Amino acid sequence: MITKQTKPDSVQTKESTNTLSQRLKPYWLFLAVILLNLLLGLFQPSLALSSLKTSRDYLWEMLTFIPPIFILMGLLDVWVPRELVEKHVGPGSGWRGIALAIFVGTAAAGPLYAAFPLAATLWRKGAKVANVMIFLNTWAAIKIPMITVELKYFGPPFALLRLALTLPAVILIGFLIEHYVPHSREMT
């Protein structure tokens, strides 16, 4: 006969309290924003309404971008073999890997937060950390549409100088992060 052991009530209550606080911990910023909006609503209702509208707009933007990115990330994870990623942007890829990371980051469309799931997938598949960082930095700082707008509104000298200064900085930052930040392939 197997009997189930039960814990004393005091232990069960402590565990359930810890579990609730552990569940809420990742959402502390979200909960703080809600609390601040509620307080703002008491003192400045029109400002609180404006804040809620802005929050709604950002939520809508996230909901339109994130699902396709996660689908793309899943397809990348399933269809692209690890060996292919390691060969083209892995530790032995050299300048070819850097150029590919820059090209993909420059040609990509969408907000920067859309790049993070893709970067994480590349990293798990064996991409060199410097190349992942170069990809992210390029996505953030060097985009083809951005360059064309700069050319039109600021002129070629400005656009080309900014590109000439940004490109080496992006590469340097990628290698510095790879060198100084401890990393493992395990995601938290």
What's the predicted TM-score (pTM) here?
A: 0.69
Give residues with Cβ within 8 angstroms of 131, minimum separation 6.
Answer: 89, 90, 93, 97, 98, 100, 101, 122, 174
pLDDT at 188 over 50: no
Reported residue count of the chain is 188
Q: How confident is the model at residue 13 (pLDDT cuts 50, 70, 90)?
A: low
Measured CA to CA, the distance from residue 48 to residue 53 in angstroms comes to: 9
Question: Who wins on pLDDT, 16 or 126?
Answer: 126
pLDDT at 108 over 90: no
Please provide the average confidence, as pLDDT, over all residues in the chain.
86
| 169 and 133 Cβ atoms separated by less than 8 Å | no
Mean pLDDT throughout 100-113? 88
**Range scoring the smallest mean pLDDT among 17-21, 32-36, 144-148, 159-163:** 17-21
pLDDT at 99 over 90: yes
